Structure 1
């Protein structure tokens, strides 16, 4: 398990977080927009991971291929809305589905642009993590391995991450 940070930026987060990070997407709608050779595998995986038939999704641009190529299921992604001021990280994403293939049709459906074709799937855990909290958390937990860090992140999250 690895922990990733994705600095989305205020403009992108404001426009797109409500669509797929804090808004759910139908697995059937996802499946309709997949290449035929992936459809059955993705549908089977997402249906197993999200029995309600809905999940959250986020996409990464093609230019980030070298970074995202290491992303695996069970990794954790913290989405950063802004690094300005105290910073704001409102979403923790425990990745349950990711295929290392560009999905431009799905990207266009989800965000109105094919510029985010590396799409991963998760159930959003809303958090209230700001820059000051993050620096304290990293100072406290940096020496632990990533599995312990994730467990501690969840413990901190349940305490509302208020410092």
Structure 2
């Protein structure tokens, strides 16, 4: 009788655990349509010879796209890594326009634009107005035409010299 009772308790525990796992899977938060559209607009402004962003499409969860990290609870985009890997060919760098659609990513904390080729397009000054942005990497392989200055972001703190804004990483205090 004790074995049967213990078996029933064990089955009850396993069923409860299984139900909890199934419910947790159902709580997966996806990105908002507004943020997905902003990311697609960013993609369309870039020249991506390496096809790194080929999986970015009108369908699916943008939180699963390469280079995009979302908050697990809210689904908002927190990090955007558009850097070119160090091992990549110099001719596979991103170029083109840095879209103002970045401003639609209200929860963006980290933005990595490092090792790209934005010589013909200046780094836009609107990057300095992104209030939630705390980390910005603009270290580049090529010398860009730079229009943004550290003073344009409230309380910005360069990790490099202010005269080397475009080759610096900035950590903005909260």
Q: Which TM-score applies when normalising by structure 1? A: 0.27
> Which of the pair is proportionally richer in strand?
1
> Which of the pair is proportionally richer in helix?
1
Larger CA Rg, structure 1 vs 2: 2
Q: Which has the higher contact order (CA 8 A, sep 6+)?
A: 1
Q: Which TM-score applies when normalising by structure 2? A: 0.25
